[in-house]
A and B are shown apart, each in its own frame.
Chain A
Amino acid sequence: DADVTQTPRNRITKTGKRIMLECSQTKGHDRMYWYRQDPGLGLRLIYYSFDVKDINKGEISDGYSVSRQAQAKFSLSLESAIPNQTALYFCAVDRLAGGNEQFFGPGTRLTVL
């Protein structure tokens, strides 16, 4: 159990608004990830961070930005939300010296109207 929390759990917003999704973990995992899930597409990687000073783009980073404020916190921002960013967003963590599996938070369901 990686004790990954995500806030908010649900959010409805309007096109053009700036939105921040937050992720926190309590077990000291080095590496943190943001994914989005869309029906029929599985999970796709948005951004990832291997430590506080390391931020990397994933396969679908356009329209998103991230901030690793501390080892335990990794935030995802939508600078100007658009309807096709409506999705389920997951934060995940793992450990450099771990077993290679990732542990996921409960998810944030975001709806952009």
Chain B
Amino acid sequence: AQSVAQPEDQVNVAEGNPLTVKCTYSVSGNPYLFWYVQYPNRGLQFLLKYITGDNLVKGSYGFEAEFNKSQTSFHLKKPSALVSDSALYFCAVRVFYNQGGKLIFGQGTELSVKP
């Protein structure tokens, strides 16, 4: 079965420190991977994606993610966390069938950045 796992329900980081939010996936074929962020009382915002090419992809708000095929991981990273980065983060994988397929989401990781 195709799936996405985010092993940490919550990640706590001090402002200015690097942050990592973990994601692993299980999918047949080449994965299309995505990160979304949800701020309180808001919808999901697209952060970045990996389709093909360079394993390190850069996205919005200074975030980046590293695709690792051998470890089937797609961890989200930021060199220096901000308090405003505090939010709920979702990893997702695109599953293709019919005319386009669908996204399968992980359960989400709550990021808390303290001053």
Determine chain A's interface SS by DSSP, over half rule.
Answer: strand
Question: Chain B residues with Cβ under 8 A from A103's Cβ?
Answer: 46
Question: Chain B residues with Cβ under 8 A from A44's Cβ?
Answer: 105
B9 nearest in chain A by CB position: A40
Chain B contact residues (Cβ within 8 angstroms of A): what range? Answer: 20 to 34
Q: Are B32 and A56 in contact (CB under 8 A)?
A: no
Question: Chain B residues with Cβ under 8 A from A45's Cβ?
Answer: 102-103
Question: Chain B residues with Cβ under 8 A from A42's Cβ?
Answer: 90, 105-108
* Contact mask for chain B residues 92-112; partner A; CB cutoff 8 A; 1 contact, 0 none: 001000111011011110000
A-B Cβ contacts below 8 A, count: 56
Question: Chain A residues with Cβ under 8 A from B43's Cβ?
Answer: 4, 90, 104-107
Give the CA-CA distance A54 to B43 in the complex, in Å: 25
Determine chain B's interface SS by DSSP, over half rule.
Answer: strand
Supposing A43-B90, A99-B49, A104-B44 touch, asked if A58 and B107 sit within 8 A by C-beta, the answer is: no
Residue among A44, A50, A103, A104 facing the most chain B CB atoms (10 A cut-off): A104
Give the CA-CA distance A21 to B101 in the complex, in Å: 23
Give the CA-CA distance A101 to B90 in the complex, in Å: 13
Supposing A40-B9, A42-B90, A100-B32 touch, asked if A106 and B42 sit within 8 A by C-beta, the answer is: yes
Task: Please give the residue numbers on chain B whose beta carbons come within 8 Å of chain A beta carbons, in ascending order.
Answer: 9, 32, 34, 36, 42-46, 49, 51, 90, 94, 98-100, 102-103, 105-108
